Structure 1
Amino acid sequence: MSLTADPPACTVPAAGGSSTHKLVNAGADKLIFKIKSSNNNEYRITPVFGFVDPSGSKDIVITRTAGAPKEDKLVIHFANAPADATDAQAALLLLLRL
């Protein structure tokens, strides 16, 4: 199970801006992901939840609104997706209960 981000780091000015990244699944299983931020007031991530097909990729956009400069963190949680899952957010809630 492997999920990588390309580019692997996001640098957005404190004045605001956006950055596009590609989540790449190099494995043979469908993956499910959720992206978390240490600063939800100034960052918007689209999509927050999703699936990445085997040997596939998914584009994400990270947007920062203007705010005080500081170091923030984005974390991507991922796991093998349930075979019958069609709604990423609902599937993640089920996985968390296990």
Structure 2
Amino acid sequence: MPDLTFGGLVSKLRSIPGMKTVTEKAALLYAVFEDEDTHKWVKAAIVAALVYLINPADAVPDFIPGAGYGDDVAVLLAALGTIKAYIESHHHDRAKEILNKL
């Protein structure tokens, strides 16, 4: 069972060397998620995307070189596209703070 806490997300992001796109998108999603003003359906979409990222048993296993994170990136981008109207500048600032902690 994947660790679905903030610590679990940070641990997963630290384990993705050289995957700046994945870490930036995941941090932005988390920043929107933790905002109290974010609508529940938006949070549900974010949780689904982040669970997919954290879960080691996804469509393309992460250990496959060159392809392992392709499906994860697609899911993160789809989630961001779905919620883009709800992403504000302070979410980008918070995502940068999260990335600095990595």
TM-score exceeds 0.5: no
Q: Which has the higher strand share?
A: 1
Larger radius of gyration: 1
Q: More relative contact order in 1 or in 2 (CA 8 Å, sep 6+)? A: 2
Q: Which has the higher helix share?
A: 2
